Structure 1
């Protein structure tokens, strides 16, 4: 029987932190004792260009080495990308869709036609409030932890500390941890 692998496909724009978030998520899951993969896919490498990142998380070794084609979770960091048909490629009614948007769930459903579970979080707004800049990645990680249970917040907090403490200091670490927790608390999902 093949290993059950939780696969995530991230859609964002270069510079929004999707690659960093996928890496933090993978490292947090690795610290939990899971097998992981995290890798990006770029088109034109310039700030603002659409890009994808991918994660695989499993309790058993992962032998796949390709893009995620049948995602368990699709994360959209920029809601202006929702008209792109690639967003829903390979999804099923069991796939979860998390979107960074200030718009309601029904707007996302109408925009995409997606029939599975849709979750929304105002990640950019939260990031602006907590960090003073619109980088939504740590907020989205909190939403992923809440919606999927694939990673525990404590492990993500540890990764934030590892990545930011020496470079930016304790104040920035604490701001990112607050943003993470707000993403966890403020994500809302369809039934």
Structure 2
């Protein structure tokens, strides 16, 4: 991993982009990394485009601004491909992971992007494993496979710990989300 890795999350209000960013940050911190995880809000309303960011580094992070040149982009809603330029600021060797039923080659051509493009049907995975179309936890699984940011078993254990804090009284929610992460990790493709 580079000394500083920046991630930009594109989603819509209510899809869990902020939550995914925070979960990734907490797990990275537990693995000994320095992190930042923060959202960017415009008008807060369900369904509106939202952004969230991560910075992950072995070294102290002294930047305190928006992420403008992420090496990794995660897109939780495929309709955003027609609304915003998700490739903005991403270097030619960057990685983009998109929640889409389309294959990665089709998305790569649509984006006219030189770097790595991965796709996973995060809505489908969430429906099958969680019973609701929340793409955020499946996208975390796809992101781990596409980037190798954190060794998967350590990542999964960290996510389980974080979910237990929030859903200790609902163990089925924890198990379903872990299953969604595992399935997306297996199904994401480039």
Q: Same fold (TM over 0.5)?
A: yes
How far residue 92 of structure 1 moved from its aligned partner, in angstroms, is: 1.6
How far residue 166 of structure 1 moved from its aligned partner, in angstroms, is: 5.1
Q: Which residue of 2 aligns with 1:15?
A: 14
RMSD: 1.6
Distance 1:36-1:166 versus aligned 2 partners, 3 A rule: closer
Q: Which residue of 1 aligns with 2:127?
A: 128
Q: Which residue of 2 aligns with 1:41?
A: 40
Point out where structure 1 has 5 or more consecutive residues left out of the alignment. Answer: none
Is residue 2:184 matched to residue 1:179? Answer: no
1:65-122 alpha-carbon deviations (Å, 9 max, x no partner): 1111111101111111112343111112111010000011232123211121100011
Q: Which residue of 1 aligns with 2:163?
A: 163
CA distance in 2, matches of 1:173, 1:150: 22
Q: Which residue of 2 aligns with 1:51?
A: 50
CA distance in 2, matches of 1:52, 1:28: 20
Distance 1:166-1:24 versus aligned 2 partners, 3 A rule: closer
Mapped contact 2:93–2:114 kept (Cα < 8 A): no
How far residue 184 of structure 1 moved from its aligned partner, in angstroms, is: 0.9
Q: Structure 1 residues 28-37 or 146-155, which shifts more? A: 146-155
Q: Which residue of 1 aligns with 2:63?
A: 64
How far residue 147 of structure 1 moved from its aligned partner, in angstroms, is: 1.4
Mapped contact 2:30–2:158 kept (Cα < 8 A): no
Point out where structure 2 has 5 or more consecutive residues left out of the alignment. Answer: none
Q: Which residue of 1 aligns with 2:81?
A: 82
How far residue 164 of structure 1 moved from its aligned partner, in angstroms, is: 4.6
Mapped contact 1:76–1:100 kept (Cα < 8 A): yes
- The two structures have a TM-score, normalised by structure 2, of 0.92
SS of residue paired to 1:98 = strand
Mapped contact 1:165–1:172 kept (Cα < 8 A): no
Distance 1:141-1:152 versus aligned 2 partners, 3 A rule: same
Mapped contact 1:24–1:160 kept (Cα < 8 A): no
- The two structures have a TM-score, normalised by structure 1, of 0.92
